[in-house]
Structure 1
Amino acid sequence: MSEVFDQNAKQVVLIVDDTPDNISLLSGLLKDQYKIKIATNGLKALQIASSLPGPDLILLDVMMPEMDGYETCRRLKADPATSDIPIIFLTAKSQVQDEEMGLRLGAVDYISKPISPPIVLARVATQLNLVRARHLLQDQNKHLESLVQDRTRKLAKMQDAIIMAMASLAETRDNETGNHIRRTQNYVAALARKLKNHPRFSALLTDENIDLLYKSAPLHDIGKVGIPDNILLKPDKLTSEEFEVMKLHTVYGRETIISVEKYLGESNEFLRFAREITYSHQEKWDGSGYPENLMGDAIPLSARLMAIADVYDALISRRVYKPAFSHEEAISIMRKGSGTHFDPDILEAFLEITEEFRQIANQFKESDSHVPVN
């Protein structure tokens, strides 16, 4: 069957017969309306049928030497490349069981010899009209699929833009974070890829989920929009009361995601990761974090990944209350947090890809708030 369908081109009919007179009769009958190909035996028919452009219809004689029409039909139907080509048997064998055999093998019609030209023309036209209709339907379906894929891509791009806009809204409240959200989402993705084959994490860290983690990570601090400026932007150490207010950014972030889930009437993996990250990225492995003092594996994996990314970026970034640490200093500090602040297995993976973190940090550095990591 032709690889690309041209509805204006002549359709191709393959005549398979070992008798020259039969070939001449059928060719003369059909050549004005269709493009004719000829095979004088079954093997040649198989070769022509599997070549591109292939036939749109096969007129197949039953009684041929070496390989009869039935065996030729079996092989055509067994090959995925030719199985969809309609076959009409033309034969002098007119017993009911002969016709039954041909139809059982997959033929669409069975015409007895000697042939009646009007009958052949009518039945060939019927089958080729069906072929044309099927091709047009397939082309339409491909076009619709293309439109759907294009629309889906545009929607996904719009959703990503909305996510980044929401994250940036929180970022503008704290003008010292710079490209923090872009760096941290790339850190999270790099760390997740490193751990995807780890026995503790492989079930969750599928390629699809890693992509969702990458997309949801920028939302980790959206709750900061609810923190008063006098606390969020305070250049000095927070008082205990102020710190309690600052902790609420995790609660505000989770409530924002929950409100989205309620509006949708459902949740999904992306929203689940976003909810986990916003709420639990300040938890610590030993239970000394907030807001719930979760410990160990009780902390969602997404939040444990985010903790590594968030702390590393905070250490290498300049803040109003501290200078930027060097990459090496940040690594040294984080190494000490194994088993206390960080999941030991995740920190170990981080320590194996610190150079990748350095490259991400430099790729998204900003001169006003972030010192290049050298």
Structure 2
Amino acid sequence: MEQTSTNNPPTLLVIDDIPENLTLMYQLFKDEYKVKGANCGIRGIDIAENSLPDLILLDIMMPEMDGYEVCRRLKQNPHTRGIPIIFLTAKAEKIDESRGLQLGAVDYITKPINPDIVKCRVKTHIALKLANDLLRGENQSLGKEVERRTREALKQREELQSIQDITFYAMVSLAETRDNETGSHICRTQHYIKCLAQQLRLNPLYQDEIDDTMIDLLFKSAPLHDIGKIGISDTILLKKGKLTPEEFTIMKNHTTIGYVAIQKAEVVTGKTMDFLKYAKEIAYYHHEHWDGNGYPKGLSGRDIPLSARLMAVADVYDALINRRVYKEAFTHQDAVNMIVDGKGTHFDPDIIDAFLDITDELWEIAQRYHN
């Protein structure tokens, strides 16, 4: 089962013991990718080692060797460990998502599949894979172009910036596939946090801590605050109604998943980047509370990074004034009142003072970038 092309499209490997599923995936992706299929884990490992596909769709429940074991072996092999793996699982199957993520899988897709969703997921994960290949120098033709440009000082800087942006937008696009509101939410919170930082800068206590560079980096890194939600299943992320305590425990893991994902991207580059430093802080700590009752670390007060304290206000404000699958939208004034009620408990008091000075501006942003 293979689609050939002279344009060298990305290669997609589907490992599933049910022939009908292999045929379905082939028909779905044959026009965009070179599609290979394997009806068992051993055959899938062999194809992966020999063809090095750009992405693997891997069924979990298979005879002889299940998907977890296939994933473990692929991630142990230096030649195949960099291939992203998306698990395929039937809705009725009881799965251990944390086990799959710990083994190195990047996502889960529930069967029966929604064609539009699965195509979007595959597209964004392949984009991130290609971006990481670029950063590691595995793309020889583009690597030669980078090498040529490094001989020119000005163009070298532009090329490195382009590589960074490719990785950044690939990661953000992953978050945008998870629900219909994430893209607009990302845009709005970017502008909220910039306005909050600019206003807080007027406070003498923060004049030395906040400068133009920091504000620019906050604006650039803020979209990654919920990148960890790529590791949370749709059944929890899109649930209509209140989460159970067990489900909320899983949901809270998105902060850690996001931190680890950004940290791995940083490792790929081989150096520390300022915007990724803020992105890690925001992703990991934006659910911490000023009084220490947040998660994941239970930090309090100024032990919480300033970037995360700012994002906490921006994120909650946007969540309150917009409809979600689990609630209706609150009015702007109700949202403001609820945030003020959290001053000194949920939120940094200084940031709430800055928030109150610019509520009209924040509401204007909310209207400008409405869903």
Query: Given the superposition, is the C-alpha separation of residues 265 and 165 from structure 1 closer, same or farther in structure 2, using an over 3 Å criterion?
Result: closer
Question: Which residue is equivalent to 1:30?
Answer: none
Query: Given the superposition, is the C-alpha separation of residues 338 and 184 from structure 1 closer, same or farther in structure 2, using an over 3 Å criterion?
Result: same
Question: Which residue is equivalent to 2:232?
Answer: 227
Question: Which residue is equivalent to 1:343?
Answer: 348
Query: Given the superposition, is the C-alpha separation of residues 151 and 357 from structure 1 closer, same or farther in structure 2, using an over 3 Å criterion?
Result: farther
- 1:240 counterpart = 2:245: yes
Select the residue among 217, 221, 235 that pairs with 1:216. 221
Specify every segment of 5 or more residues in structure 2 that has no aligned partner in the other structure, as ranges.
Answer: 1-148
Select the residue among 280, 290, 311 that pairs with 1:275. 280
Q: CA deviation at 1:176?
A: 3.2
Runs (4+) of structure 1 exceeding 3 A deviation are 147-162
CA–CA distance in structure 2, aligned partners of residues 358 and 149 of structure 1: 40
CA–CA distance in structure 2, aligned partners of residues 311 and 251 of structure 1: 19
CA–CA distance in structure 2, aligned partners of residues 287 and 280 of structure 1: 11
- 1:198 counterpart = 2:203: yes
Q: CA deviation at 1:149?
A: 4.6
User: Does structure 1 retain, via aligned residues, the 8 Å contact 2:255–2:283?
Assistant: yes
- For residues 97-129 of structure 1, give each alpha carbon's deviation from its aligned partner in whole angstroms, at most 9, with x where no partner exists: xxxxxxxxxxxxxxxxxxxxxxxxxxxxxxxxx
Query: Given the superposition, is the C-alpha separation of residues 315 and 157 from structure 1 closer, same or farther in structure 2, using an over 3 Å criterion?
Result: farther
Question: Which residue is equivalent to 1:168?
Answer: 173
Question: Which residue is equivalent to 1:295?
Answer: 300
CA–CA distance in structure 1, aligned partners of residues 185 and 252 of structure 2: 19
Question: Which residue is equivalent to 2:321?
Answer: 316
Q: How does 1:99-248 map to 2 (within 5 A)?
A: 149=154, 152-153=157-158, 156=161, 159-160=164-165, 162-248=167-253
Question: Which residue is equivalent to 2:261?
Answer: 256
- Largest Rg, 1 or 2: 1
Give, as a single letter, the amino acid of the residue that structure 2 aligns with 1:291. Answer: P
Question: Which residue is equivalent to 1:328?
Answer: 333
Question: Which residue is equivalent to 1:357?
Answer: 362
CA–CA distance in structure 2, aligned partners of residues 287 and 339 of structure 1: 10
Question: Which residue is equivalent to 2:130?
Answer: none
Give, as a single letter, the amino acid of the residue that structure 2 aligns with 1:256. Answer: A
CA–CA distance in structure 2, aligned partners of residues 192 and 161 of structure 1: 26
Q: CA deviation at 1:179?
A: 0.3
User: TM-score of the superposition, structure 1-length normalised?
Assistant: 0.56
User: Does structure 1 retain, via aligned residues, the 8 Å contact 2:241–2:327?
Assistant: no
User: Does structure 2 retain, via aligned residues, the 8 Å contact 1:163–1:218?
Assistant: no
Q: CA deviation at 1:206?
A: 1.1
Q: CA deviation at 1:263?
A: 2.2
Query: Given the superposition, is the C-alpha separation of residues 151 and 182 from structure 1 closer, same or farther in structure 2, using an over 3 Å criterion?
Result: farther
The count of corresponding residues between Structure 1 and Structure 2 is 222
User: TM-score of the superposition, structure 2-length normalised?
Assistant: 0.57
- For residues 249-272 of structure 1, give each alpha carbon's deviation from its aligned partner in whole angstroms, at most 9, with x where no partner exists: 000011011112222333132111
User: Does structure 2 retain, via aligned residues, the 8 Å contact 1:160–1:215?
Assistant: no
User: Does structure 2 retain, via aligned residues, the 8 Å contact 1:164–1:218?
Assistant: no
Please state whether the residue corresponding to 1:235 is helix, strand or coil: coil
Q: CA deviation at 1:195?
A: 1.5
- For residues 52-81 of structure 1, give each alpha carbon's deviation from its aligned partner in whole angstroms, at most 9, with x where no partner exists: xxxxxxxxxxxxxxxxxxxxxxxxxxxxxx
Q: CA deviation at 1:165?
A: 3.4
Specify every segment of 5 or more residues in structure 1 that has no aligned partner in the other structure, as ranges.
Answer: 1-143, 367-374
Q: CA deviation at 1:238?
A: 0.7
- For residues 293-316 of structure 1, give each alpha carbon's deviation from its aligned partner in whole angstroms, at most 9, with x where no partner exists: 111001000000000100000001
Question: Which residue is equivalent to 1:286?
Answer: 291
Q: CA deviation at 1:175?
A: 2.2
